[in-house]
Amino acid sequence: MSRQDLDEALSELGVSPSLLAPAEMELLDNQGYLPLPGILDTGTVTALRQRFDELVTEEGDQAGLEAHREQGTDRLADLVDKDPLFDLCWNNPRQLAAISHVLRWQEFKVFSLNGRAALPSQGHQALHADWGSAVPPGDYQICNSIWMLDDFTEENGATRIVPGSHRWGRLPKADMADPRLPHPDEILVLGTAGTAVIFNSHLWHGGTQNRTDQPRRALHSAYVLRGQKQQTVFHDYLRPATYDRLSPAQRYLLEV
């Protein structure tokens, strides 16, 4: 695949650097994350939440097996194959412009499209990065986005991040005796359902405990440089009917 293929795919999807304001690029560069409030309307959020719950019930103990299982959560994976409704969370032009900015407009592909619900009294994670080794500032390999299907509050397991930590060139375990404990510089990413938060996946982050009696649901749409491995190898999973409905640009992003 050539750079021209990426340019063509992004152009087909309406993506360009002009979709981000300079202040938004600066926030991604310096702090490592960018909230995009209201990117999904209320009706769409309701439909996505309903489909999320249906899949959790339908898949039962097989849910999430295409990518990752986690105690204390409901996990889903390979959502590209599960419903066209989920396309909204991996094809959004503003989202892809922010992803492209983090990855320096190099060739990239979808790493995974997963769902995660922190269950009541559960969901706390150690601070971590979504890459197995530390990278120098600017040598970023992976970028993620969180799509809030429920409000993210202080009580229901909102994601915590350490702003700027993507630029430190080290992993949490190098600094912290126990990355499950609070970091002095961490903040909670709060927002209303329908918000997407793009974040550099080398940023230190982790879910917190859901202290309510309801699940806290979100979708995670991640992208990785073209030469790296996918978490979900879509070529191995994609159903013929899904492939047929996808555009050339979508197929390019999935590497199928």
User: Model confidence at 2, in pLDDT bands (50, 70, 90)?
Assistant: low
Instruction: Give the pLDDT confidence of 11-57 residue by residue, as tens digits.
Output: 999 999 999 999 999 999 999 999 999 999 999 999 999 999 999 99
- Euclidean distance between CA atoms 67 and 113, whole angstroms: 9
Instruction: Give the pLDDT confidence of 94-112 residue by residue, as tens digits.
Output: 999 999 999 999 999 999 9
Give all strands of the β-sheet with 108-118 in edge-to-edge order: 33-36, 196-200, 142-148, 216-225, 108-118, 73-76
Backbone angles phi, psi at 28, to 5 degrees: -60, -45
Residue 6's pLDDT is 87
- Euclidean distance between CA atoms 172 and 141, whole angstroms: 17
* C-alpha dihedral (208, 209, 211, 214), degrees to nearest 10: 90
Q: What CATH number was assigned to the domain covering residues 3-254?
A: 2.60.120.620
Would you give the distance in Å from CA 116 to the centre of its chain? Answer: 10
| Domain residue ranges in the chain | 3-254
